[in-house]
C-alpha cells in the first residue's frame, strides 16, 4: 500500500476502512538466506537495504520484544555528520545523505528535520579544534559553518552570553544536521522490508547459535531452531550477551544512557544545541517538549532505566548555557542500554565463525548511523566485502592497532 495525500483524502471520505497493517505477523520459516538478530533501527535498516538494494528477500528479522522497544525508540533523535577522523566522516556523511532521501525511499513520514546542529565553543583552543573538525567535514563533502559570537547571538539569543561560567564564544554549525522522529524510522524500514517479503518476527528471543566445525548455520530461539546461510547479530546494548553464546568476547561494555523531556512549551529552540564545556544537548520536539540528555550513568548495566544523580548533572549542564530551562518542568525520562566500544567507534564485520556477522559498538551515537549502518551491513552480507565507507570498522582493530579514537581519550568506553 502506497501512502500519499490522495490516499489519505480518499480514506477520509470512505471511513478509513481501507488501511492495511504496516507489516505482517508471520510465523518463522525453517530456513532463510539471512537471519538478522535484533529488530532495532540497525537490524531493520539492514533488512530494508538487503531486500531493496541487494535483492535478497529470503530474510528474517528476529526481535525479542516489540519493534522499537530498544534504543531506536529511546534516543534523543539527533542526526549529524560532524566527525573528524577519515574512517568516520565519510561513513556519517553517507548516512546523512541517506537520511535526506529516507522519506521518499521508504514512502514513510519520518519527520526528517534538518534544523541545524550547533556545537558551542567556550575558549580559543576549543575554537581551533572545531575549525579543524569543520575543515575535515568540508573535505569529505559535508557542510560546516563557523559562527562567531555575534552570529550565534542572532541565532540563539536565549544562550547565557553575559554571565556564564564558561563564556560562550561561538559555535560550529552543521545546517544539514537535525532530528528525525526515531520510532517512525523503525516503522518505515519495517514496512519497506516487509513489502519485499522480509519476515519480521517479534517476541522471538535468540538464545544461542547453531555452530558446527566453525560454521554457523542458524539460531536457537524461543520459537525453535531456525536455519540460515548467514546470521547477522545487530542487538546494540545486548551485543556482549548475545555474542557470548557463540563464545565471542567483544571489546564492548554496556552502559545506561538517559533521555529527558520537559512539558510542552511554545516554540523557543529552532536548532539542536550542544554544550561544549560539559555534556548536554537539547532540541525541541514538534509537540513542544524540550528533549535533552547528557552523560552516561557511569556503571555497567543492562537495565533500561537510570538513576537520579545523572538527572541533576544533566539539568546543571542545561542551566549552564540556557538558564531559562530551569523554569520548565520535567515531564518524563527513560534509559537505554548502550553498546560502548573501547575506542568509541562501531564494528561492521565478519567474525572468525563462518556465516556469523557482527554489527555493534555504536556507543550513544548510533541513531544518526542507522541508514548507513544498515546499508553497509547489507553490503557486507550480500558481497562478503566491506562497504568502502565502513572499511575501518573491523573487529580485530584492537589487535592490529588501528583504533578509531574520535575523541582521543583512549580505551575508556564510558567517555565515548
Ligand atoms: C537515551 C538515549 C539517547 C540517544 N541519543 C542519540 C542521539 O541523539 N543521536 C544518535 O545518533 N544516537 C543516539 N542514541 C544511540 C542510539 O539510539 C543507538 O546507538 C542505536 O539506536 C542502536 O542501534 P539499534 O537502533 O539497532 O538498537 P536497538 O533499538 O536497541 O535494537 C536492538 C534490538 O535487539 C533486540 N535484542 C536484544 N537481544 C536480543 C535477542 N537475544 N534476540 C532477539 N532480539 C534481541 C532488542 O530488543 C532491540 O530491539 C541514544 C541512545 C539512548 C539510549
For 270-296, the pLDDT digits (tens) are 999 999 999 999 999 999 999 999 999
The answer to whether position 390 is within a domain reads yes
The answer to whether position 286 is within a domain reads no
Q: Distance from the CA of 168 to the center of ligand 1, in angstroms?
A: 33
Atom of ligand 1 nearest to the CA of 368: 11
Residue with cell 564545556: 277
| Total domains present in the chain | 1
pTM for the predicted model, two decimal places: 0.97
Whether 96 and 250 have beta carbons less than 8 Å apart is answered as no
Q: Distance from the CA of 296 to the center of ligand 1, in angstroms?
A: 14
User: Residue 65's domain is classified under what CATH number?
Assistant: 3.50.50.60
Q: At a CB cut-off of 8 Å and minimum separation 6, what does 209 contact?
A: 216, 218, 219, 220, 231, 245, 246, 353, 356
What residue numbers bound the domain in which 406 lies? 27-77+182-251+343-415
The answer to whether position 129 is within a domain reads no
The answer to whether position 313 is within a domain reads no
What is the pLDDT confidence band of residue 1, given thresholds at 50, 70 and 90? confident
The closest residue, in CA terms, to atom 20 on ligand 1 is 366
Atom of ligand 1 nearest to the CA of 204: 43
What is the pLDDT confidence band of residue 410, given thresholds at 50, 70 and 90? confident
The answer to whether position 302 is within a domain reads no
Do strands 272-274 and 281-284 pair parallel, antiparallel, or not at all (unpaired)? antiparallel
For the stretch 210-251, pLDDT in tens is 999 999 999 999 999 999 999 999 999 999 999 999 999 999
The answer to whether position 352 is within a domain reads yes
Q: Distance from the CA of 223 to the center of ligand 1, in angstroms?
A: 23
Cβ < 6 A, ligand 1 pocket: 37-43, 62-65, 69-72, 74-78, 205-206, 234-238, 242, 257-259, 293, 336, 338, 362, 364-368
The answer to whether position 87 is within a domain reads no
CA distance 56 to 52: 8
The answer to whether position 224 is within a domain reads yes
Amino acid at each position: 500500500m502506497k501512502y500519499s495525500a490522495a490516499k489519505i483524502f480518499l480514506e477520509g471520505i470512505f471511513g478509513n476502512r481501507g488501511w492495511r497493517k504496516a507489516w505482517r505477523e508471520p510465523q518463522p520459516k525453517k530456513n532463510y538466506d539471512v537471519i538478522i538478530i535484533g529488530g532495532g533501527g540497525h537490524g531493520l535498516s539492514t533488512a530494508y537495504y538487503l531486500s531493496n538494494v541487494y535483492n535478497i528477500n529470503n530474510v528474517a528479522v528476529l526481535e525479542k520484544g516489540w519493534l522499537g522497544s530498544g534504543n531506536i525508540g529511546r534516543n534523543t533523535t539527533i542526526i549529524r555528520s560532524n566527525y573528524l577522523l577519515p574512517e568516520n566522516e565519510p561513513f556519517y556523511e553517507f548516512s546523512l545523505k541517506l537520511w535526506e532521501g529516507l522519506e521518499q525511499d521508504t514512502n514513510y513520514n519520518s519527520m526528517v528535520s534538518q534544523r541545524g546542529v550547533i556545537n558551542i565553543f567556550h575558549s580559543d583552543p576549543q575554537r581551533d579544534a572545531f575549525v579543524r573538525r569543520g575543515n575535515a567535514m568540508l573535505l569529505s563533502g559535508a557542510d560546516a559553518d563557523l559562527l562567531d559570537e555575534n552570529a550565534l547571538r542572532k541565532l540563539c539569543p536565549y544562550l547565557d552570553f553575559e554571565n556564564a561560567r564558561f563564556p560562550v564564544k561561538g559555535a560550529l554549525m552543521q545546517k544539514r544536521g537535525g532530528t528525525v522522529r526515531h520510532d517512525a524510522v523503525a516503522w518505515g524500514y519495517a514496512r519497506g522490508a516487509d513489502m519485499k517479503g522480509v519476515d519480521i518476527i517479534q517476541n522471538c528471543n535468540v538464545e544461542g547459535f547453531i555452530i558446527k566445525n566453525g560454521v554457523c548455520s542458524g539460531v536457537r530461539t524461543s520459537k525453535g531452531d531456525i536455519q540460515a546461510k548467514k546470521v547477522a547479530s545487530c542487538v546494540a546494548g545486548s551485543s556482549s550477551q548475545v555474542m557470548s553464546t557463540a563464545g565471542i568476547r567483544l571489546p564492548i561494555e554496556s552502559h545506561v544512557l538517559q533521555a529527558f523531556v520537559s512539558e510542552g512549551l511554545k516554540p523557543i529552540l529552532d536548532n539542536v544545541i550542544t554544550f561544549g564545556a560539559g555534556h548536554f544537548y537539547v532540541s525541541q520536539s514538534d509537540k513542544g517538549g524540550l528533549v535533552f540528555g547528557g552523560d552516561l550513568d557511569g556503571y555497567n548495566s543492562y537495565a533500561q532505566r537510570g538513576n537520579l544523580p545523572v538527572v541533576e548533572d544533566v539539568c546543571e549542564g542545561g542551566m549552564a548555557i540556557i538558564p531559562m530551562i530551569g523554569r520548565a518542568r520535567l515531564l518524563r525520562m527513560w534509559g537505554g542500554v548502550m553498546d560502548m566500544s573501547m575506542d568509541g567507534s562501531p564494528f561492521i564485520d565478519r567474525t572468525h565463525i563462518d556465516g556469523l556477522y557482527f554489527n555493534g559498538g555504536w556507543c550513544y551515537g548510533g541513531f544518526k548511523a542507522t541508514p548507513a549502518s544498515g546499508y553497509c551491513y547489507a553490503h557486507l552480507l550480500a558481497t562478503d566485502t566491506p562497504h568502502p565507507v565502513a572499511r575501518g570498522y573491523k573487529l580485530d582493530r584492537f589487535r592490529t592497532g588501528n583504533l578509531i579514537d574520535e575523541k582521543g581519550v583512549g580505551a575508556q568506553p564510558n567517555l565515548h
